[in-house]
Structure 1
Amino acid sequence: MKQKSVIVTCAITGSLHTPSMSPHLPITPDEIVMESVAAAQAGASIIHLHARDPQDGRPTANPDVFMQFLPRIKQQTNAVLNLTTGGAPGMSVDERLAAPERASPEMTSLNMGSINNGLFAGSRRIKNYKYDWERPFLESGKRGMFENSFASIEAIMKRMGQEHGARFEFECYDLGHIYNLAYMMDQKLYDGPLFLQFILGILGGVGGEIDHLLHMVRTAQRLFGSDVEWSVLAAGRYQIPMCTHNALLGGNVRVGLEDSLSIGPGQLASSNAEQVLKIRRILEELHFTIATPDEVRERLCLKGAHNVNF
């Protein structure tokens, strides 16, 4: 059986890291365009995108900000552009869908359950905050949760999947989230092929350990079949080791400054492309090939870049 090429996703900026954590975190539309294009040139076939307020870097759901970078990235790359529907903690579903519904992308993310997100634990390492909003934002995770109810999941599946023809990156932070997806499939809210993103190493979700990853992979294969497509996202220091393990299991990988700000122990990554190049080098030394955007479109049955609204 021919070995499948590895899909490399790069998550450019996210919504949970704050500007004080790294000077290399992309904030403005210009920075997001530059980082996205460089990551695609380095080998990422899927670019996962959030937006930030250009003035102070706080997460924003404003579709006008998304439209300042989406067309420019599309013009300069062939990469699949995957928009967040998670947004940031505290955003309503309507806020989270404002940009995806305007842009009608090929792919969006979809968080498959509510979680406690313990990024507040990292706030104590920040000595000086650049902006007043950062500390309260990080510490709010100690008191609240990131809500992704069954009603929210169903609404996103209908509004983005059924109405816009988008395919999903199903983000699973814990074992139960895989079963949530199986339930939604049983309700005929989505058909295949599936692309699961297992998220490990975040406080509030499953730990960044190979035993947990293997259990999630085998559970997904029992529920959805052995040909299910899956990837792994691992936070911080777990990023490269877990991506490497996952490729050896037959899966795909995700890197980017949304997931980890580092390139090595005690060393900040200078760019998203630096992380893409690192995992690409490791994969190619292990005799894997890297999937092209067009291969991704075929494998995931995407509607094509010509059918988006940007």
Structure 2
Amino acid sequence: MAKPVIITCAITGSLHVPSMSPYLPITPDQIAEESIAAAEAGAAILHLHARDPNDGRPSADPDVFRQFLPRIKQATDAVVNITTGGSPGMTIDERLAAPEAMSPEMTSLNMGTINVGLFPAADRIKEFKHDWERPFLEGTRHGMFRNTFGDIEAILNRLGKGHGARFEFECYDVGHLYNLAWFLDEKLYEPPLFIQFCVGILGGIGPEVDHLLHMIRTAQRLFGDDFEWSVLAAGRHQMPMATHNILLGGNARVGLEDSLMISRGTLAKSNAQQVAKLARIIVELGHDVATPSEARERLALKGADRTNF
């Protein structure tokens, strides 16, 4: 019998800008409310970034995280997964400031340096709310999202060994799986693994079922059966790729970090709306939605009682 499907919800992220949607959570109150509602809709894991509450730009400030993390923990049993990616341009120390202060059960970990091309979106926005948004998007034409071997090793040591955190390994291309295998060979991490196949980002692997199958089969060759996998598909590919992955035996991630839409041409009004739609698809396909307790057991997490928030 297939295992219950773990739903991850990525609440706000750092790549979309406020001018793209009036529903993107910005303030700590909005992030807390959206997270709690997503958990109630069926999300077992909440993937969280922070934003400057004044203008919505990405923030690495632990004090901003402190304004919403305790509220989420008090109101839900969901697993809190804090970003270590932060935002393009942040230093590794900036990216790790909040997770090191909060000591969460889980964090994200990007498995390689990539180009993240957000610049095409700049021409589709008719009016910007804030001065920082267009330069931020246009800057990705010449910038990169840095995740060197040294960066990855630092995160594994500082958060994995230092805090007992487990990781959502974000893999944007097939080579990232081989990077992960190298770190396992070096004994810097032990299974079980939770691998997030990230598809549809300009600069990474495309959102096609053939690519997803190739990444799954490659992971099986490298890691055997001792891994859980999920899919993160950008934009309009979110629900179709999630559905394909569920049919293949995997898990899925939704949320306004990854897509601002609920259907073709229609903005999602909340993260919970996306989670509820995915949960409905899971049930209609004959599967169950995993609880936070089931996710914790399968991913070997340390428990919410051992966090610092």
- The amino acid that maps onto 2:186 is Q
> Which ranges of structure 1 fall in alignment gaps of 5 or more residues?
none
SS in 1 for 2:288: coil
Take 2:192 and 2:12, find their aligned partners in 1: how far apart are those partners?
A: 27
SS in 2 for 1:17: coil
Equivalent in the alignment of 1:34? 33
Equivalent in the alignment of 1:282? 281
SS in 2 for 1:124: helix
Take 1:193 and 1:208, find their aligned partners in 2: how far apart are those partners?
A: 26
Take 2:39 and 2:61, find their aligned partners in 1: how far apart are those partners?
A: 24
SS in 2 for 1:254: strand
Equivalent in the alignment of 1:180? 179
How much does 1:102 deviate? 0.3
How much does 1:242 deviate? 0.2
Q: Report whether the alignment pairs 1:20 with 2:1.
A: no
SS in 1 for 2:135: helix
Equivalent in the alignment of 1:76? 75
Report 1:218-297 matches (<5 A): 218-297=217-296
Q: Is the 8 A contact 2:81 2:106 kept in 1?
A: yes
Take 2:59 and 2:53, find their aligned partners in 1: how far apart are those partners?
A: 9
Q: Report whether the alignment pairs 1:87 with 2:62.
A: no
SS in 2 for 1:163: helix
Q: How many residues align?
A: 309
How much does 1:119 deviate? 1.0
Fraction of identical pairs, as percent: 71
Instruction: Please give the TM-score of this superposition, normalised by the length of structure 1.
Output: 0.99
Q: Is the 8 A contact 2:191 2:226 kept in 1?
A: no
Take 2:238 and 2:275, find their aligned partners in 1: how far apart are those partners?
A: 11
Equivalent in the alignment of 1:113? 112
**CA-to-partner distance for each residue in 1:184-235, whole Å, 9 max, x for gaps?**
1011100011000000001000000000000000100110012410000000
Equivalent in the alignment of 1:198? 197
Runs of at least 4 residues of structure 1 off by over 6 A? Answer: none
Take 1:122 and 1:20, find their aligned partners in 2: how far apart are those partners?
A: 11
- The amino acid that maps onto 2:92 is V
Equivalent in the alignment of 2:209? 210
How much does 1:85 deviate? 0.2
Equivalent in the alignment of 2:128? 129
How much does 1:173 deviate? 0.3
The CA RMSD measured in Å over matched residues stands at 0.5
Q: Is the 8 A contact 2:172 2:204 kept in 1?
A: yes
Q: Report whether the alignment pairs 1:309 with 2:308.
A: yes
